Amino acid sequence: MDEIDRKILNLLQKDATLSTAEIAEAVGLSTTPCWRRIQILEQEGYITRRVALVDRNKINVPLDVFVAIRTNEHNFDWLDEFARLVCEFPEVVELYRMSGEIDYLMRVVVPDMAAYDTFYKKLIKRVQLTDVSSSFAMERIKYTTALPLDYAIESGRSRRKRG
């Protein structure tokens, strides 16, 4: 990972539809070496996939609900089953196992409070939980899928290999 790789990743994080020629021009490379670098970034797992970001209002899921979960179950079998069940809900877009006072935190997207109530009832019917606390986002102030690249470490890849 060098400065050119970081620039390529930064561009792709902002717009994955850019052509290789557009990226090459922006980072100061010719097309073929730029294409090679992108291929290596994919092969090495820096680029895990390319997706389209959908306008949440146009598909009627404007409400973010942050759901804090506590459980008395702290074993691998319960965790595996919990993760499997939660991942079946398309409304759950993020799920984290946490340290501290809560055990799990999930972000749920739904059209409104009534839809969240329906989701909540399905969840507690399928999973044994000790405590569920929901917080509704009133305003989204910042949202990005772009990761900060300032912390990326120079890799030991040979310069010849990258092009």
- In this structure, what are the phi and psi dihedrals at residue 131, rounded to the nearest 5 degrees? -150, 135
Tokens linked to 152: 């990326």
Confirm whether 143 is domain-assigned: no
Q: Is 109 exposed, middle or buried (0-12, 13-18, 19+ CB in 10 A)?
A: buried
pLDDT at 103: 96
pTM of the model: 0.85
Q: Domain residues for 31?
A: 3-52
| 68 and 38 in a common domain | no
Provide the CATH number for the domain around residue 14: 1.10.10.10
pLDDT of the residue at 159: 41
Determine contact, residues 8/23, Cβ cutoff 8 Å.
yes
Q: What is the pLDDT of residue 162?
A: 47
Judgement on whether residues 89 and 32 belong to the same structural domain of the protein: no
Same domain? For 126 and 84 the reply is yes
Residues 116 and 72 in one domain: yes
Question: Domain check: are 30 and 70 in the same one?
Answer: no
Asked if 118 and 48 count as a contact pair (C-beta separation under 8 A), the reply is no
88: Cβ–Cβ under 8 A, 6 or more apart, which residues? none
How confident is the chain (163 residues) per 10-residue block, as mean pLDDT? 95 96 98 97 96 96 98 92 96 97 97 98 94 96 94 62 50
pLDDT for position 161: 52
